[in-house]
Amino acid sequence: MIFAHKVAADYPLLVAANRDEFHARPTAASDFWATYPALLAGRDLLQGGTWMGVTRTGRFAAVTNFRDPARTAAAPRSRGELPLAYLSGAVAPESFLSEIAPRAHDYAGFNLLVGDRDSLWYFSNSDGQTARCLAPGVYGLSNARLDSLWPKVALGKSRMQALLQVGSISHSALATVVADRRLADQHALSGQELDSDMDSTLSAQFIVTDTYGTRSSTTLWIDRRWRASWREQSFDQQGALRAQQLREFALNAA
């Protein structure tokens, strides 16, 4: 996931994100939820949570896995609960993170973003992490800590910065920020201690394998008029586009 937070005056938030998951895991495409009509998000049909969403009041949340070979045991709770709990509630971002911190290790390793119109916060349950209010900037988040210098994160950040300089924002342009299917150079991976065959397979921004890969790509912006525009593209095991969801709406008062 690559995002620009309060960098462009016309776009307080810009996001380009891939959801990488096993193809066998059942998923519902993004839409407004019947149970939470203000919430736009995809749905994990196995556990009932989500990986990223936005609400009609401008609340935003996303979660990624934190890859830690030392922590492979199944966790008692699903990470998808976290963005759903934030998006379906009304608690301020900092307060929400304070509430979940005592039980953060009930979940497998995660990175979590939660925000509203005023601020964007980051929290991880990896060792030694505390909640952090993000300053304006371009950030990259994969399966390590925020802004870890993984090759695909560095590539995405450079592409987002180039897009901001051009200033012509569209969903197609945003999608290119996380669309590269090439594997990273092995020397670059070794420099980040990403030396295994699996590290190489997962080094592309857009992953294509028979069992696991990029299931969907989502692009989102919130503009200075407080309008949201969301596009989700869904892909099959060969990386071919199979469906697209586009939603645009004005944000309501909180």
Identity of the amino acid at 73: A
Whole-angstrom distance, CA of residue 100 vs CA of residue 15: 24
Choice among 1-5, 105-109, 154-158 with the minimum mean pLDDT: 105-109
The pLDDT value given to residue 232: 98
- CA angle at 101 for the pair 97 and 107, rounded to the nearest 5°: 110
How confident is the model at residue 104, as a pLDDT?
A: 93
- Please state, rounded to an integer, the average pLDDT across all residues of the chain: 92
User: What pLDDT sits at residue 74?
Assistant: 73
pLDDT at 127 over 80: no
Question: Do residues 155 and 140 lie in contact, with contact meaning Cβ atoms separated by under 8 Å?
Answer: no
Whole-structure pTM value: 0.93
18-27, 138-147, 192-201 — which is least confidently predicted?
192-201
pLDDT of residue 231: 98
**CA 207: distance to chain centroid?**
15
- For residue 195, pLDDT beyond 70: no
128: left (phi over 0), alpha (psi -120 to 50) or beta: left
Cα angle 153, 154, 159 (rounded to 5 degrees) comes to 95
Q: Identify the band that residue 177 occupies on the pLDDT scale cut at 50, 70 and 90.
A: very high
Q: CA–CA separation, 146 vs 225, rounded Å?
A: 29
Q: How is residue 93 written in tokens? A: 């971002």
Kindly tell me if the per-residue pLDDT of 72 is higher than 90. Answer: no
Which of the four CATH numbers 3.60.60, 3.30.200, 1.20.120, 3.40.50 does domain 2-241 have? Answer: 3.60.60
Asked if the model's pLDDT at residue 193 lies above 70, the reply is no
Structure confidence by residue, pLDDT tens digits, 208-219? 999 999 999 999
7: Cβ contacts below 8 Å, ≥ 6 apart = 14, 136, 137, 138, 164
